[in-house]
Amino acid sequence: MYIEKLYVSTFRCYKQSFVGFKKGLNIVVGDNAIGKTTLVEAIHTLCLAKSFRAKADAEMIQYNADKFAIKGEFSDGKSKKTVILLYSNNLKRIKVDNEFVKTLGNYVGNLPVVCYSPSNIMFFLSGSLFRRKFINTMLCQLSREYLFVSNEYNKILKERNALLKIMQQDSSVRNKTLLDTLTERLIVEGNKIIDMRCSFVNNINNVLDGTYKRMFGSFDELKLVYLPSVEKKEFCEKTKALYYEEVKKGTTQYGPHKDDYIFIINNKNIGEYGSQGQQKAALLCVKIALSEMFCKEKKVSPIVLLDDVFGELDASKQNKLLSLFQNVKQVIMTTTTLSDIDKKMLINANVIYLNEKEETQHGRK
């Protein structure tokens, strides 16, 4: 589905605002710090029930307000769907066609979205936690089973770590028996996650390298590499061998919660040896590859959000990038200027100008 109308209320810099979008290419144009990224964030939050910027939902509430609301009207060309996300008093609720969603697990994936933001560069600058979240956001949309298994694993992990801390003071037989039970459950769910992550990486690599070559006209080989903290066949043995160490430290030492990912070009880790341009190229290509996977595997077209994507790309690569998203139904991008965009692409594009001085139907700061 694609979004036709977006309404926001007391959301960051917007008190009340409405923006209309169309199928195809939508370009939000305006100066820096005027609210372009906020519109993209609102769509992402509506589709995935979480922001790609904020660590906590409360950060998105406008100053001096105590709640925010986002409403989107979506269409697939035949039917329409209205989604409302309400946040107040530390409670987030989602309503689809006037019915509240009972669990977010049943909601995520219904409105697939692929988002590129300059903050994605933290994949290379941050620790493994950021990289796991980066990949998990993709996987949870592609596979509801992965979302449920991942939630179950995290629940068991939390219980197990809490018990390990208790056992620092009380290592009774009863607690040891409970730890064995939690360990068995953790390994079962953990092995499922390892399998699904391996499958995802294999599938995305089938698309990724060709995407990189088309984008940059290069013969270099780009791959995403999965680095599990422990192999499936060793998971059980290592966990048992670390019994006393884990009790001493009060935390689980191995499992999918310790996994990592890297991008390599010609067998070199570009997080360590690549230029910033290569790093950005890898992130863009994985987003293009993901959108293709949605179309081929799920038979749905995601909403593609491109926030400030043109930095460090010359005019030819900017237009090449947009052409690689031609198979999706809707692209919404932000930019400060239209000067480098191919005039042929602008003919059918929906261009939305944001003006700081004038309150319009499109937005205000």
Q: What are the structural domains of the chain?
A: 1-112+300-365 (3.40.50.300), 122-297 (1.20.1050.90)
* The pLDDT of residue 364: 32
**Contacts with 242 (C-beta within 8 Å, 6 or more apart), sequence order:** 253, 254
The three state secondary structure string of 121-136 is HHHHHCCHHHHHHHHH
Give CA–CA dist 28/331, Å, rounded: 11
Mean pLDDT of 305-319: 85
Q: How many CB atoms lie within 10 A of CB 66?
A: 11
Cross-strand bridge partners of residue 279: none
pLDDT number for residue 88: 95
Computed over every residue of the chain, the mean pLDDT equals 91
SS3 148: helix
Average pLDDT on 181-199 reads 96
Per-residue pLDDT, 42? 97
Q: What is the pTM of this model?
A: 0.92
Give the C-alpha distances (Å, rounded to integers) separating 45 from 33, 70, 92, 97, 352.
Answer: 19, 8, 11, 17, 20
Helices (H) and strands (E) in the chain, counts: 11, 14
Cβ burial 85-100 (10 Å sphere, 16+ → b, else e): bbbbeeeeebeeeeee
Q: How far apart are CA 17 and CA 6, in angstroms?
A: 8
Percent of the chain whose pLDDT exceeds 70: 97
Task: Return the percentage of the chain with pLDDT > 90, whole number.
Answer: 73
Q: How many residues does the chain have?
A: 365
Kindly report, residue by residue over 250-288, the tens digit of the pLDDT. 999 999 999 999 999 989 999 999 988 889 989 999 999
Q: Is 177 exposed, middle or buried (0-12, 13-18, 19+ CB in 10 A)?
A: exposed
Burial (0-12, 13-18, 19+ Cβ within 10 Å), 79: exposed
Q: How confident is the model at residue 218 (pLDDT cuts 50, 70, 90)?
A: confident
How confident is the model over 60-79, as pLDDT tens digits? 999 999 999 999 999 988 89
**CA diameter of the chain:** 74
- Residue of 67, 53, 150 whose CA lies nearest to 109: 150
